[in-house]
Amino acid sequence: MGIHNYFKSLSDLEGINRCPGKFKYQEHSVASHSFKVTKIAQFLGTVEEHHGTQIDWRKLYEKAINHDYPELFTGDIKTPVKYATPELKSLLSQVEEAMTKKFIEEEIPPEFQSIYELRFSEGKDESIEGKILAVADKIDLLYESFGEIQKGNPEPLFPEIYEEALATIVHYQELHCVQYFLESILPEMLEEGVIPYSQINKVSKQILGKKVTIV
């Protein structure tokens, strides 16, 4: 029992890859996803606060950094399984809760158990911080799928993920930070595009043309 096991388990999240099975140019672990979601949530919260929304920063950071930890207990259950029937979804939620509870009772000292129950509970609630987490989670997913498409991944799954992620973000468009994302960040991302191979020829000719006449 103990916090040592808890600290050690953090490293297990470095060994769990997101979206296993499908070919990817770039793998992402659950640990580094959690890092990126927290950084993205930090920016979104900053935009939201700039527009006068009150942000409970402690709550926001806790939701973001902890949001995928329970995946350690349940493994990677595919979404179509999770949502197959309302009955199954409810049962799976109960099991996840029970396993989280058991982990806390076994590993977390009694004086900190209530705090960790809160930390490991579902983060994507209706509070502003819960909504920011939901958006940040999808923005990282959008970047992951965008990166694959941009690099030439022929797997139709990635445009599907991209579409689903963007649709979910748009669903939260009443948030200032989502408006900011759609107006100022997404266009920059889309502008980036790909680098055509012909650029190599162009650059080469420019350099050679400027300085030598031999080619």
Structure token pair of residue 12:
């297990």
In 3D space, the residue among 41, 21, 22, 19 whose CA is nearest the CA of residue 30 turns out to be 19
Q: In this complex, which beta carbon is closest to a copy of itself, that of residue 55 or of residue 125? A: 55
For a copy of itself, the binding residue among 141, 147, 175, 176 (CB under 8 A) is 147
Q: In this complex, which beta carbon is closest to a copy of itself, that of residue 126 or of residue 152? A: 152
For a copy of itself, the binding residue among 52, 86, 110, 195 (CB under 8 A) is 195
CB burial of residue 65 (10 Å; 0-12, 13-18, 19+) = middle
**List of residues 6+ apart from 182 with CB closer than 8 A:** 169, 170, 173
For a copy of itself, the binding residue among 53, 92, 124, 127 (CB under 8 A) is 92
For a copy of itself, the binding residue among 115, 118, 138, 175 (CB under 8 A) is 115
Phi/psi for 112 (5° steps) reads -110, 5
**14 near a copy of itself, rule: CB under 8 A:** yes
- The angle that helices 57-66 and 110-119 make with each other, rounded to 10 degrees, is 90
- What 3-state class would DSSP assign to 201? helix
Site for a copy of itself in 18-57 (CB under 8 A): 20-23, 25-26, 28-29, 31-32, 34-36, 38-40, 42-43, 46-47, 50, 57
**150 near a copy of itself, rule: CB under 8 A:** yes
**111 near a copy of itself, rule: CB under 8 A:** yes
